[in-house]
Chains A and B, each alone.
Chain A
Amino acid sequence: DAKTTQPPSMDCAEGRAANLPCNHSTISGNEYVYWYRQIHSQGPQYIIHGLKNNETNEMASLIITEDRKSSTLILPHATLRDTAVYYCIVSSGGSNYKLTFGKGTLLTVNP
Chain B
Amino acid sequence: EPEVTQTPSHQVTQMGQEVILRCVPISNHLYFYWYRQILGQKVEFLVSFYNNEISEKSEIFDDQFSVERPDGSNFTLKIRSTKLEDSAMYFCASSDADRAKETQYFGPGTRLLVL
Interface residues of A (CB under 8 A from B): 32, 34, 38, 41-46, 49, 87, 89, 91, 93-94, 96-103
Is A49 in contact with B108, judged by CB distance below 8 angstroms? no
- Interface of chain A, main secondary structure: loop
**Is B108 within 8 A of A34, CB to CB?**
no
Tally inter-chain residue pairs, CB-CB below 8 A. Answer: 63
Q: A44-B91, A49-B102 are in contact. Are A98 and B48 (CB under 8 A)?
A: yes
Q: Is residue B109 within 8 Å, beta carbon to beta carbon, of the partner chain? A: yes
Secondary structure call for the B interface = strand
Contact in complex: A43, B108 (CB < 8 Å): yes
**B106 and A44 contacting across the interface, CB-CB below 8 Å:** yes
> A34 vs B102: C-alpha distance in the bound complex, in angstroms?
8
B25: interface (CB < 8 Å):
no
Residue of A nearest to B54 (CB): A97
Q: Interface code B89-115, partner A: CB below 8 Å = 1, 0 otherwise?
A: 101010000001111111111000000
CB closest residue in chain B, given A93: B100
13 more contacts with CB within 8 A, not counting A43-B4, A45-B106, A101-B43, are: A42-B108, A42-B109, A43-B107, A43-B108, A44-B93, A49-B102, A91-B102, A97-B56, A97-B101, A98-B45, A99-B43, A100-B45, A102-B42
Task: Give the distance in Å from the alpha carbon of A87 to the alpha carbon of B42 in the complex.
Answer: 10
The interface centre, meaning the residue of A38, A91, A94, A103 with most chain B CB atoms within 10 A of its CB, is: A94
